[in-house]
Amino acid sequence: SIAITLGAKKVAKRAYEWCGRHEVVSHVLSDQAAVEACLAFSTDHRVLVEPACGVSLAALYNPHPLLQGRKNILVIVCGGAGVTIAQLLEWQKNFSESS
């Protein structure tokens, strides 16, 4: 994956505890969906984010059925220092060429 900053090396104790008290649903999205969300977010908010953040945004730009009926969805947006608009556009071009 191009979302190289997506995973943590260690789970925080409080995050682990939280998972025991609330439903956690895992969903995998493509790198292409992440890049498209990064580009949409940059257009909508004039902020660049890396694909590791874009993948969370992709779940909102292309709502997954798991989100139907949900209210007050929170997505923490961070991490644009490791990407440029040129890099995002190049990834997008590569995805469209391979489709």
pLDDT at 8 over 80: no
> In this predicted structure, what is the pLDDT of residue 83?
93
pLDDT at 70 over 80: yes
- For residue 2, the number of C-alpha atoms closer than 13 Å in the C-beta half-sphere is 23
- Measured over the CA atoms of residue 82, residue 52, residue 55 and residue 13, the dihedral's sign is negative
> In this predicted structure, what is the pLDDT of residue 98?
87
* pLDDT tens figures, 17-54: 988 998 888 888 999 999 999 999 999 999 999 999 99
Among residues 61, 62, 64, 63, the alpha carbon closest in space to that of 44 is found at 61
d(CA 81, CA 87): 12
Q: Name the residue type at position 57.
A: L
The model carries a pTM of: 0.84
d(CA 62, CA 82): 24
